[in-house]
Structure 1
Amino acid sequence: MSVTQQRFMRRGVTKFLFLKAIADAGNVPLRPELASANATDLSGAISDVAGWSLANSPIDTPDMGSPMTTNIPGEDKADSSSLTFYEDLAAETIETLLTKGVVGFVVIMRKGDVPASKSMDIFPVRVAGRAPAYSAGSDPAKFTVTFAISGEPTLDAAIPASS
């Protein structure tokens, strides 16, 4: 069997939203929540993304019957996660939204806002800090927001249908 793919570049496709709350206990937002004043689309202001994935720490399980040390899946841990934004000379919209200590959800639609696509990851977060990047060069002004992943993320959720 061969696999046929339609490959794509994430820039211009992947969407990043910040939601202040999600009603569902499984942390999967409904379409009205994605389109409400409760949701902010951060995509157009992001210059860099780091983390937003899970890693497993396997546990060694040696035994006397073999010289091979096998292992079993251990705990999952979220990578250190951050978003770097372009700074706005005229407004502080993102800085006001993502102040230290703010809790909410980072919603990543990996393949864009495609209803029924199982490509939505939802990370419960708390803003751990925000730091400006200074440069004497001709770089655009930026700042980085670091997030603590505060609960188990919901991965590969279906994007809700449009209303």
Structure 2
Amino acid sequence: MSTPPPIPATQERFYQRGVTRFYFLTTMTGKAPTRPELVAGTELTDFISDIEGWQLANTPIETPDMGSEFTSSIPGEDKAENSSLTIYEDKASEALEERLKKDTVGWLVILRKGDIPARKTMDVFAVRVGSRGTAYTVATEPAKFKVSFSITAPPELDQAVPAAV
């Protein structure tokens, strides 16, 4: 096992909007996309109005014993729940709705710190579209639809962003 890099004394903090990138891919050959696979996917970044989920959580298992009043625990199952994207509707096109139809299988790829090749800041989620529904409203806001995803395999977190071609 390699030694982790030292933690810097200072941080360069950033605002995710305008930096983080989102892609939906329907073709991928390995556990993370190549640059041609990423480019062939659909970049969703500029169409997203809200994001929910996309986090791996662990459900601990309690392990009480008669020798202590304290109830300890051990790591249990990993799960990613309630992951969705809310997307602005396009009055002139149904392309995004077609790409994100119910039961569509693919990968949601998130470049957390932007498209910086070789940085290990790419998360890859194998997904299946569970539902897509219009968010009807009388409020003064843009038309949107919400896409709910089932995550079908353990996510590949902290992958290297592919090199530019």
Correspondences of 1:17-96 after superposition (within 5 Å): 17-24=23-30, 27-36=31-40, 39-96=41-98
Secondary structure at the counterpart of residue 57 of structure 2 = strand
TM-score normalized by structure 2? Answer: 0.93
Instruction: Give TM-score, length-normalised by structure 1.
Output: 0.94
Q: Which segments of 5 or more consecutive residues in structure 2 lack a partner in the other structure?
A: 1-6
What does 1:1-163 align with in structure 2 at a 5 Å threshold? 3-24=9-30, 27-36=31-40, 39-163=41-165
Query: Over residues 90-134 of structure 1, what are the superposed CA-to-partner deviations in whole Å (9 max), with x where a residue is unaligned?
Result: 001110000000000000000011111111000000000011111
RMSD of equivalent CA atoms: 1.1
| Residue type of the alignment partner of 2:96 | I
Partner of residue 4, structure 2: none
Structure with bigger strand share is 1
Q: CA deviation at 1:2?
A: 6.4
Identical-residue share of aligned pairs (%): 55
Give the match's secondary structure for 1:74: coil
**2: CA distance between counterparts of 1:42 and 1:3?**
35
- What CA distance in whole angstroms lies between the structure 2 residues aligned with 1:2 and 1:151? 33
Q: Which runs of 5+ in 1 are unaligned?
A: none
Q: Distance in 1 between matches of 2:138 and 2:71?
A: 52
Deviating above 2 A after TM superposition, structure 1's stretches of 4 or more consecutive aligned residues are: none
Deviation, 1:32, is 1.4
